[in-house]
Amino acid sequence: MHDEAKFDITAMIDLVFMMNIFFLVTTVGAALAEMDLPVAKHVVAADLDAAVVFSLTVDANGGGTFLYVGDGVDGEPITSPEEQTKAIRTAVEAGLGDQKTTVLIKAEKNVRLRDLNRVASAASAIQGVELKLAVIEME
């Protein structure tokens, strides 16, 4: 007397159907993740002539954040946070005297958020200033 060999494949069929559904759902979700966004219609570029500009860069060794008053990395960088705060307030107050009510902060992609927040807080502490931010992706 031998028992007949039985193999119940019901569980395997259920598993194959679930895997098919899983891959179908994730493939559709991944395809929908890439979408073309509409072009912005109501955006105007900041006027550099009517703005006080600050540029933030990161030390090549990753040590600290350098602040430059003006557009670009011309001149001597300000490295100390206390000196940066003083330079920001001085430049913003001088800009308000010249009818420059916008502060534009340009920062490299690698600038730490806490440094950017510190600079933005120092700039926005002066009343009557509009703050704008731009992130520069350096190669």
Quote the CA–CA distance of 125 and 85 in Å, as a whole number: 10
Quote the CA–CA distance of 55 and 77 in Å, as a whole number: 10
Whole-number pLDDT of residue 32: 64
- Closest by Cα among 86, 50, 54 to 69: 54
Whole-number pLDDT of residue 14: 93
Residue 38's beta-bridge partner residues?
none
User: Beta strand pairing status for 65-69 and 102-108?
Assistant: unpaired
Given a contact cutoff of 8 angstroms between Cβ atoms, the answer to whether 120 and 83 are in contact is no
Q: Full-prediction pTM beyond 0.85?
A: no
Q: Residue holding tokens 């557009």?
A: 71
Please give the chain's pLDDT, 139 residues, in tens.
777 878 888 899 999 999 999 988 887 766 666 666 677 676 667 777 888 889 888 887 767 888 998 888 888 888 888 998 999 999 998 988 888 888 888 888 888 888 888 889 998 888 888 888 776 555 5
What's the CATH number for 48-136?
Answer: 3.30.420.270
Quote the CA–CA distance of 117 and 131 in Å, as a whole number: 12
